[in-house]
Structure 1
Amino acid sequence: VMETDVVRVSDEMDQETVSRLFAEHDLNVVPVVDAQGKMKGIVTVDDIVDVVQEAATEDIQKFGGMEALGLPYLQSSRREMIMKRGRWLVLLLVGSMLTTTAMEGFQDQVARVPVLAVFIAMIVSTVGNSGSQASTLVIRAMALGEVRAGDWWLILRRELMIGLALGLVLFVVALIRVIIWGSFGVYGDHYVLIAIAVGISVIGCTMCGTLAGAMLPFVLRKFGADPASASAPFVATLVDVSGILIYFGIANLVLSGVLPL
């Protein structure tokens, strides 16, 4: 019995779209046709395995904060390694300078209340880690075709609630940690207020990092860039500045009038 409704692909279709078609329909082979519908050849599942492996390798390298290599690791020249890794390292260094600039604006507060400096690393790590998690999930969902450009509003609302929930969990952990250490006199007499300031900052940083990490791939796609470029190091560097601003802003609100800010 002849089948007329056969799954087929165009000879102009990109490789990743073809690989998703194989996965959706559990295909072993698919015909390739031209614009007139004439058969030009076939694509087998063995061909797709190579494509998927190549695409996954490229995405993983981009997640690591570098340009994808054109050849396997040991076959790539030192010059190519330096160029493709160095460009991103320079960009990330410039981005980290923004964090340094933001820190310079709060030197007076840190000088007057040195204990605030103790929690900067924790704040920066929190905002960076939450952003990296969100961007990784969204980028992978985009690669698998689970999320489309028009889904940004759905993702925004979803990540807003997830970020809030995660922030509340981390708030409790941070609060307990600061209060326990503070009870031994490590952070001075107002350690409870300091704990509250740090805890609220953690909530704000988690939500900020989550939303920024989730939305950045959509922004890159909107401007024609590869969403996979929103690598974990890039997102972390981008949101570090936000973490510093949130932390010192909340510290000023909570501790104003109690400590000499």
Structure 2
Amino acid sequence: MTPYYVVVRPDWTVEKVLTHIRQIGKKSETIDHIYVEGEGHRLIDDLRISQILFASADATVASLMDNQFVSLQVTDRQEEAIALFKQYDRTALPVITDDGVLVGIVTADDVLDIIEQADTEDIQKFGGMESLDLPYTRTPMLEMVKKRAGWLIVLFLGEMLTATAMGYFEGEIEKAIVLALFVPLIISSGGNSGSQASTLIIRAMALKELKVGDWWGVMRKEIFSGLLLGTALGAIGLLRITTWQQLGWYDYGPHWFLVSITIFFSLIGIVLWGTVSGSMIPFVLRRFGLDPATSSAPFVATLVDVTGLIIYFSVASIILRGTLLRPLIR
């Protein structure tokens, strides 16, 4: 907020207003809008400079007023100010107290700085780190390490669960080593779909397109999206195994068709789970008053990696039961 702006009275003539602008206009942040104050310095209207320039010299400010204006409250959050600027396409907005007293203005260039800062913080959080307090080139190395180490440790501990999950299915991997070939494919597909969904939802929340109450509509949409996307990826995986087997480029064994069916249904389940979980995590965080941007792509990918392995080997146990694998009962 800046205190440098042009204020006039309703009983002033246009000629007096122009004289006033010539005297103090250079010190003002902007003269696109002229602010009209009543008794007690209360804001009662704002006028575009064009209204002043095209009015007759003896016309009064009151004759140009319509007593309708847009303003910010001193207690408004930055997000509310940004939303008003976007809604009304203004170069500046006045700031008033609860009593209507004009205390300053906020200009569009200041709002752009705020938007840039907020977007930078969200992008850094979404990359899986704490937001930097200073620009990258001015951030000390130890501070940079500190900002990045916390989330890396959390993600590393989360990925350790992936190793635990693979250890749990060690017997299945030993009996059907071919399943291990597709582990990177499986977990990357789930992580990618989850990251896509979380990115879409977080951005929609930032643009005020979605609220917490919209979660059910989003879930229904993402369920169908996940099924279609998973089916598409699963079909590609099935086609790939079939093609390689038939052309002799790789031998997946006598039960290659069951392996391809396993990949098909596993990808449907994993992509569906990744899409739904990636879209719902931002809603859960917002519901508890946390920043949805903290549900970063690495965080979602790590979560889906672990659960994706469970889905993959569970599907494999069902389809390959009695052929390559024994039932998944321990």
Residues 26-56 of structure 1, C-alpha deviation per residue, up to 9 Å, x if partnerless?
1211111112221111111111110111111
Residues 171-219 of structure 1, C-alpha deviation per residue, up to 9 Å, x if partnerless?
1111101111222252111111100100110000100000000000011
User: Can you give the 5+ residue segments of structure 2 that lack an aligned partner in the other structure?
Assistant: 1-63
- Counterpart of 1:34 (choices 90, 97, 101) is 97
Could you tell me how far apart the structure 1 residues matched to 2:241 and 2:128 are?
Answer: 33
Deviation for aligned residue 1:168: 1.2
Deviation for aligned residue 1:8: 1.1
Are 1:54 and 2:54 counterparts?
no
Are 1:147 and 2:210 counterparts?
yes
Could you tell me how far apart the structure 2 residues matched to 1:113 and 1:144 are?
Answer: 48
Deviation for aligned residue 1:108: 0.4
**One-letter identity of the residue aligned with 2:209:** E
SS at match of 2:109: helix
Partner residue in 2 for 1:75 = 138
Could you tell me how far apart the structure 2 residues matched to 1:18 and 1:260 are?
Answer: 61
Are 1:85 and 2:119 counterparts?
no
Amino-acid identity (%)? 48
Query: What TM-score does the superposition give when structure 2 sets the normalisation length?
Result: 0.77
Residues 110-259 of structure 1 correspond to what in structure 2 (within 5 A)? Answer: 110-183=173-246, 184=248, 185-259=250-324
In angstroms, what is the RMSD of aligned CA positions? 1.1
Deviation for aligned residue 1:100: 1.2
Q: How many residues align?
A: 261
- Contact 2:317/2:325 (CA < 8 Å) preserved in 1? no
- Contact 1:16/1:51 (CA < 8 Å) preserved in 2? no
Which one has the bigger helix percentage?
A: 1
Deviation for aligned residue 1:4: 2.4
Could you tell me how far apart the structure 2 residues matched to 1:201 and 1:98 are?
Answer: 19
- Contact 2:237/2:260 (CA < 8 Å) preserved in 1? yes
Query: What TM-score does the superposition give when structure 1 sets the normalisation length?
Result: 0.97
Could you tell me how far apart the structure 1 residues matched to 2:233 and 2:80 are?
Answer: 39
- Contact 2:190/2:273 (CA < 8 Å) preserved in 1? yes
Highest Rg: 1 or 2?
2
The runs of at least 4 aligned residues of structure 1 exceeding 4 Å deviation read: none
